[in-house]
Every structure is written in C-alpha cells, then in structure tokens.
C-alpha cells in the first residue's frame, strides 16, 4: 500500500488574482503588479520594472505569468499533469485533483515569482505585495484547510513591519514564515532582522529558508544557468552557517528552521565546515595531527562561533530540518550519518523541473528502510511544522 505523502514544499504561481481588489491594499491602488505583453511574451510589471529579468546581471527567469485575462500561457497548454487552474491556485478543488493523482494527503505551499526579493523599491510596496499574497493564500487554502497549508511571505526590508505581518498571518492560518538565506548584503541573523526571528519564535511558526534570489551574488552572473547554479542556491548555505554558528538557536531554543529545495547532499560538507571553524572541531584534534603538531586552535581563535552546542546537536534536538530530492544518491549516507528524523519530502508541484509522482519514486527505492520512508514522506513534515506526528509503520 502506497503512503499518502505530506508535502512540505509545494508552490503556486502568482496570477492577476493574487493582486486583485479582493486582496490588494487600496493605498497602493496604482502600483499593483500587472501582467503585460512585450514582444509576444507575458511579463509582470512591478513598480515600473519588468519581471522576469531576462538579460544582464541578476537574471531571474522564475515566475513568468501562467495566465493573462484568464487565458493560459502557451507553455502551460502542454502540461496536462499540472493544469493551469491548479498551478495558478484558482481553487482548492483544482489543486486537490493534482494531489489526489500523486498520492499526496496534504501540501504546504510557497510562492514562485515571489522567491525573488526585492521586486519593489517604492517604500511600503514590498510589504503590500506580501500582504496581498498572504490574503490570497489564506482565502484559497481556506477552502480545504485540512489539506492545503501555506507559509507567510514577508518583506525583510522592513523587519518591524515584517514582524507585524507574522503575527497577522499566524491568526489567518499560516504554518510558517519564508525567509531567504541572505537579505541583500546582510546575513540572515543580522541584528536589524531580529524582530523577524523573535516574532516567529513567539508565534511558534516554522522559519523556512527557501532557495531564491535575494543576494548580491546575482550581480556577478549573467545567464539563467549560472544564476540557478550559484546565487539561487548558495545563500541558503550561507543562511545555514549564520543560523547555527551565531547562537540564534540558543536564543530561541524552541524555534524550528527548515532548509528547502537545495537537496541534502550539501549537508555533510556544510556541517563539517561549520564544525571545523568552531571550538568543537574534531579533525584538527591533537590525536589526528601527529605527536609533533602544535595543539589545535583554542576557543579564543574561533570566537566567531558563538553557539553553545556543536552544529550537529541542533539537528538532534529537533531545531534543524532539511529537504531532499527523492533521487539523490547520497540520501542513504545522510540518513546513516545524521539519522532520519529531520529530512522532509517536497513535491515542488507545479514547477517545470519537478519529478512527477515523486513520492512513489521514493517508495520504490530499495536502499531505504520502510521506517525511514515513512519518516521522510510523512512524519518529518509534521515535525518541521510543529504538528502531531502520525504513527509510523
């Protein structure tokens, strides 16, 4: 019997409905994002600028409108497994039909276009975009609240306002708050961003560090392939270091943090790097360096690591969770090395590069135990979002 997966990371395509009068702040009536046509292509026009960005530095191609005036874009007419009414999140029923076909019991959804930040430069407009998105997600998800969950979007450029939005969306039914691994040229644990972390901890909302475009790294890359390979993903690794190494999880010991859509193969590398620059370093201990080697670096020379525990301990005590790809060859090693209580399943529905029927693919793997499969497909999504954990196999 196939498991009914709990999908920790699905997506929606923002549409004209996302910023319609039903959800949009009338204060910014003349500044709402709109879909326009240019040279036969549909684009967003946001704060006077086109999106996606198709050339030059900071190329960002994700989030092309899937509909305009209710008409599907040409690329969507060829995707029967992700029909536009589901991708655009036009109704709960449309998305549930896709989930039923893929054996998914519930899904937590994230944005697509709004994985890029900032998209607006007029003061207050970024926060208005986030509020409208959250209003829309609460409305459509509320049609099937037991199966469709959503994570709040914030504008980290205004941390105090972002904190207020966290409290507001908690009352509306959000199950987490999405952040990026870095915010422009600031690390995610920068003191100015502390209100965001404090609000997430106070509301018991999971903080989801998602891959996306939010970094000055993008200024160094000029093609979509390059930006997807480096500045789209590497800020998540930078966020992992900041969150673990600088004591944030000690300040908020009940906080849960997930790292989404970068796979899990980076984890051994990053844990080793963070550990080796901490007072808990093992590979530079005297018994590994030879009898004539100088003693390992003292704590005072590794003062940048201010966390109380060694990095892996935050996984063991249930504060760190990591997504994975169902076909990752190193997945069994990561489980053997760090356990199977923190890795969670993500379908990535409806993105183009997703693997259709991904949960069935994982169940068909012969290098994972039935118990691990149940944890990865069901239980750990509950742990990530702080829900009661279903019984295992």
**Which pTM does this prediction carry?**
0.93
Size of the chain, expressed as the number of residues it contains: 393
CA angle 10/13/18 to nearest 5° reads 120
CB atoms within 10 A of CB 390: 13
pLDDT confidence of 295, banded at 50, 70, 90?
low
Alpha carbon distance 360, 4 (integer Å): 10
Question: Average of pLDDT values for 350-360?
Answer: 92
Residues 176-222 have pLDDT tens digits of 999 999 999 999 999 999 999 999 999 999 999 999 998 888 899 99
Alpha carbon distance 135, 18 (integer Å): 8
Question: Average of pLDDT values for 28-43?
Answer: 91
Q: Is the pLDDT of residue 287 over 60?
A: no
Instruction: Give the model's pLDDT for residue 236.
Output: 98
pLDDT confidence of 390, banded at 50, 70, 90?
confident
Q: Is the pLDDT of residue 75 over 90?
A: no
Instruction: Give the model's pLDDT for residue 290.
Output: 52
Question: Average of pLDDT values for 94-114?
Answer: 97
Instruction: Give the model's pLDDT for residue 352.
Output: 85
pLDDT confidence of 286, banded at 50, 70, 90?
very low
Tokens for 55, please give them.
Answer: 């050339």
- All domains in the chain, ordered by first residue: 5-385 (3.20.20.140)
Residues 227-256 have pLDDT tens digits of 999 999 999 999 999 999 999 999 999 999
Alpha carbon distance 176, 153 (integer Å): 9
Residues 51-67 have pLDDT tens digits of 999 888 888 888 889 89
Question: Any idea what DSSP says for residue 357?
Answer: T
Let me know if 18 is exposed, middle or buried by CB neighbors in 10 A (0-12, 13-18, 19+): buried
Q: Calculate the average pLDDT of the chain.
A: 92
Alpha carbon distance 53, 30 (integer Å): 22
């Amino acid at each position: 019997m196939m498991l009914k997966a709990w999908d920790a990371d699905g997506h929606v395509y923002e549409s004209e409905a996302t910023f319609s009068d039903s959800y949009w702040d009338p204060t910014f009536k003349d500044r709402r994002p709109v879909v326009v046509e240019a040279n036969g292509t549909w684009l967003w026009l946001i704060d006077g600028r086109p999106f996606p960005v198709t050339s030059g530095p900071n190329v960002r191609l994700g989030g092309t409108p899937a509909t305009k005036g209710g008409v599907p874009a040409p690329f969507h007419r060829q995707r029967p497994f992700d029909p536009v009414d589901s991708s655009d999140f036009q109704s709960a029923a449309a998305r549930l039909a896709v989930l039923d076909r893929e054996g998914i019991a519930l899904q937590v959804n994230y944005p697509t276009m709004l994985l890029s930040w900032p998209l607006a430069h007029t003061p207050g407009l970024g926060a208005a975009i986030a509020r409208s998105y959250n209003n829309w997600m609460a409305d459509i998800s509320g049609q099937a609240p037991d199966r469709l969950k959503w994570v709040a979007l914030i504008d980290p450029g205004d941390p105090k306002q972002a904190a207020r939005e966290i409290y507001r969306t908690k009352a509306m039914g959000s199950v987490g708050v999405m952040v990026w691994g870095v915010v422009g040229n600031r690390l995610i644990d920068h003191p100015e961003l502390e209100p965001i972390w404090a609000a997430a901890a106070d509301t018991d909302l999971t903080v989801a560090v998602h891959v996306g475009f939010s970094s000055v790294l993008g200024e160094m890359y000029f093609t979509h392939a390059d930006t997807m390979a480096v500045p789209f993903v590497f800020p998540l690794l930078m966020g992992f270091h900041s969150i673990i190494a600088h004591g944030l999880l000690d300040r908020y010991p009940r906080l849960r943090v997930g790292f989404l859509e970068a796979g899990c193969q980076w984890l051994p590398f990053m844990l080793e790097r963070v550990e080796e620059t901490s007072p808990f370093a093992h590979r530079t201990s005297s018994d590994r360096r030879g009898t004539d080697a100088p003693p390992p670096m003292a704590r005072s020379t590794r003062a940048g690591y201010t966390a109380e525990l060694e990095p892996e301990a935050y996984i063991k005590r249930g504060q760190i969770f990591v997504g994975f790809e169902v076909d990752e060859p190193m997945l069994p090693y990561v489980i053997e090395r760090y356990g199977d209580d923190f890795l969670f399943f993500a379908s990535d529905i409806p993105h183009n590069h997703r693997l259709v029927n991904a949960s069935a693919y994982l169940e068909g793997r012969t290098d994972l135990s039935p118990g691990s499969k149940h944890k990865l497909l069901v239980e750990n999504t509950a742990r990530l979002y702080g829900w009661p954990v279903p019984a295992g196999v």
